[in-house]
């Protein structure tokens, strides 16, 4: 199982991602509602996969991505955000994210995005 | 405000509801309203806008619509906390999606959620807002756009 952390300021989105992810491949080890909480949880639980919202209070997703990648350059980060402009997507990728899923999303959208993100990972 | 701008938000509304289990949403004809009497249902999620535009975008809906919307995205907990969370998330999604047209300088805040009386929504008194009516199931909601170019 791949340990995964879900970061989003919306509880219903965190729960939706928990419900939708492939339970045979991922194990949710942490959830966080902002970037600062995510860094703390990341250090404690060491997930290899992260879903990351961008617009959050206290510390936004872009800043959080930089911090997580500094801690573990191999972490696979999938941005899950409503910010649908190209510049934001490119900035997230430059900071170290490896995929981008635009909100709103379906269960299939998420499963496919996570599968693509981790296709070369051994479970 | 140009028709193209309204169309961006109309498409955002349609896109949001198309990702639920009950896609049959209709959007009414947008209309102008005075900011002294802001449109509001039971709960509203308000997004502040800065950058190349200034103002706000908000989604407002009755509790019963939000309960059904929660269930349509697979969430069984329809507590008030989740309804408030949802109204903010819808506002955030519709506003964030608008950046595909307006670019990254269309800067959006985290949502602020308000309950109840229209008096809780303070809009610039020297501006007017466009209301986009939304009809989903047998319920009404709205996206309200109060923007000016910077």
| Confidence band of B118 (pLDDT split at 50, 70, 90) | low
Two structure tokens written together for B116? 């109840």
CA B133 – CA A77 distance, rounded (Å): 37
Say which of B73, B81, B99 has its CB closest to residue A85.
B99
According to the model, what pLDDT value does residue B39 have?
Answer: 83
- Helices and strands (H and E) in chain A: how many: 5, 5
CA distance between the termini of chain B: 13
Q: Which of residues 45-104 of A touch B (CB under 8 A)?
A: 55-57, 81-85, 87-88, 102-104
State the Cα angle at B73 between B70 and B79, rounded to 5°. Answer: 25
Contacts of B29 (CB under 8 A, 6+ apart): B133
- The predicted complex's ipTM stands at 0.92
Give Cα B100 to chain centroid, integer Å.
17
Comparing A31-40, A45-54, B89-98, B111-120, the range with the smallest average pLDDT is B111-120
CB-CB neighbors (< 8 A) of B81 in chain A: 11
Q: Among all residues of chain A, which has the CA nearest to that of B82? A: A12
In terms of pLDDT, which residue wins out, B125 or B18? B18
B81 touches chain A (CB under 8 A): yes
Give the pLDDT confidence of B72-85 residue by residue, as tens digits.
999 999 999 999 99
DSSP assignment string, B39-78: ---SEEEEEEEEESEEEEEEEEE-HHHHHHHHHHTT----
In terms of pLDDT, which residue wins out, A80 or B23? A80
């Amino acid at each position: 199982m791949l340990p995964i952390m879900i970061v989003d300021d919306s509880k219903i989105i965190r729960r939706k991602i928990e419900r939708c992810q492939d339970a045979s491949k991922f194990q949710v080890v942490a959830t966080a509602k902002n970037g600062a909480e995510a860094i703390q949880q990341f250090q404690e639980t060491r997930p290899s996969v992260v879903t990351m919202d961008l617009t959050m209070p206290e510390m936004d997703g872009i800043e959080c991505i930089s911090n997580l990648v500094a801690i573990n350059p191999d972490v696979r980060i999938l941005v899950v955000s409503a910010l649908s402009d190209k510049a934001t997507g490119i900035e997230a990728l430059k900071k170290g994210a490896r995929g981008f899923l635009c909100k709103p999303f379906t269960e299939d959208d998420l499963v496919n995005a996570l599968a693509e993100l981790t296709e070369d990972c051994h479970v | 405000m140009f028709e193209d701008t309204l169309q961006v938000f109309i498409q955002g509304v349609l896109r949001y509801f198309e990702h639920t289990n009950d896609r049959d949403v209709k959007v009414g004809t947008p209309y102008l309203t005075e900011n002294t009497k802001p449109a509001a249902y039971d709960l509203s999620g308000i997004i502040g806008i800065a950058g190349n535009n200034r103002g706000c975008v908000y989604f407002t809906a009755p509790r019963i619509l939000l309960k059904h919307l929660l269930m349509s995205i697979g969430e069984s907990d329809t507590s008030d906390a989740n309804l408030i969370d949802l109204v903010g998330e819808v506002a955030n999604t519709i506003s964030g999606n608008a950046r595909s047209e307006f670019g990254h300088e269309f800067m959006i805040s985290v949502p602020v959620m308000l309950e109840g009386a229209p008096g809780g929504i303070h809009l610039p008194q020297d501006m007017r807002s466009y209301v986009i009516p939304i009809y989903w199931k047998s319920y009404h909601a709205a996206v309200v756009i109060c923007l000016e170019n910077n």
